[in-house]
Amino acid sequence: MATIIGERWKVRASLGEGGQAHTFTVSDVRGGEDELYVLKRLKNLKRIDRFRREIEAVRNLTHENIVRLIDFDLDCDRPYLVTEYCSGGTLETAQPFWKNAPARAFALFEQIGAGVAHAHAHGLVHRDLKPANIFLRGPQGPAVVGDFGICFLEEEGERITLTEEAVGARLYIAPELEDGRLEAISDKADTYALGKLLYWLFSGGKVFSRERHRIPQWDLKGKNDDSFLGWTNIYLEHVNRLLDLMVVPNPEDRRTVDNILILARRARTLVEKEFTPIVPGMPQPCTYCGTGYYALQAKGHDLAVRNFGFELVGAPDWRILVCTECGHVQVFRVDLANQKDWWRQSGN
């Protein structure tokens, strides 16, 4: 005989048992039994505050990229909540259809970020963003943010949180949330975790502790000594520059999620169109022949610049690069650029 919970929810299958709850797929006996939902039933009543926090958070959030709350009961013997069923599972368990597909990886990231930004707009910080808490409504998305059980919420000026719970996943948690430092909570903590998620999506499922994305062995570009550029994919430098604004120890140096979403859309275009990033010490591929790379032939306002036919009026700061394969020339006036540090750092 099928188990009925709350006189409404028929248990169809078990989805496993976690530290806090039993999870099942269920159908609604009131109608539409072909549609599945997810029911989480609390194991230990001492943990009911976490359940209450998750319900309190999600019931007030209506967004296409946040999991939908369907039903709950906190007063019965074994409290439960019911949410939508996402047939694609979690990012952690899904087949990585976004692997080596930057457009798909960016699309997922933007969907996740949109859900998180909506939560922030309602005074809520998730604190536990990780692949296991991101769900896919279908085999290839869209992505929705779930499991708000340890979120941080501001209500009527009063900060409410759970002091007995772990603050977040160890490899995704922002430094200021370690060791239970709850007074340091801000929405910038989610920015940090989203940076780790962004890296996870583009790295094929890798994650590092703390801030290591600029160390060569962790660099998304893929250190490759067999490549004449020294990297497997230099265009992922545009993703690195997003990470520079997210995975940093000081919250004040991180951007808001809203701003990151704007920059992510720009980075998506830069990667898809293969706009060349200027990276100190990294050769630039020739945009004409595609097999050679540009080498510096003249700089500043020295005599070598005249050999390319330029008149030196005033004190222009030229960079003239020539392809090692076909001789294609690229000319830059660095003194007219807004971003001059890239050139100074590269020593060119």
Q: Are residues 141 and 251 in the same domain?
A: yes
Q: Are residues 218 and 292 in the same domain?
A: no
What pLDDT shows up at residue 346? 54
**Beta pairing partners, 305:** none
Give the CATH number, domain containing residue 25: 3.30.200.20
For residue 308, the enclosing domain spans 284-346
Predicted structure pTM score: 0.88
Q: Are residues 132 and 205 in the same domain?
A: yes
Let me know if residue 97 belongs to a domain.
no
Q: Are residues 249 and 292 in the same domain?
A: no
Let me know if residue 279 belongs to a domain.
no
Contact 150, 162 (CB under 8 A): yes
SS3 content of the chain, % helix, strand, coil (to 5): 30, 20, 50
What pLDDT shows up at residue 168? 57
What pLDDT shows up at residue 300? 84
Type of residue found at 253: D
Q: Are residues 251 and 288 in the same domain?
A: no
Q: Are residues 216 and 289 in the same domain?
A: no
**Beta pairing partners, 158:** 155
Q: Are residues 162 and 116 in the same domain?
A: yes
Q: Are residues 268 and 293 in the same domain?
A: no
Let me know if residue 22 belongs to a domain.
yes
Q: Are residues 330 and 189 in the same domain?
A: no
Q: Are residues 115 and 185 in the same domain?
A: yes
Q: Are residues 239 and 144 in the same domain?
A: yes
What pLDDT shows up at residue 248? 96
Let me know if residue 94 belongs to a domain.
no
Type of residue found at 25: T
Let me know if residue 277 belongs to a domain.
no
Flag residues of the chain having pLDDT under 70: 19, 153-168, 179-184, 342-348
What pLDDT shows up at residue 155? 56
Q: Are residues 180 and 237 in the same domain?
A: yes
Domain end, chosen from 221, 249, 272, is at 272
Using CB atoms within 10 A of its CB, is residue 309 exposed (0-12), middle (13-18) or buried (19+)?
exposed
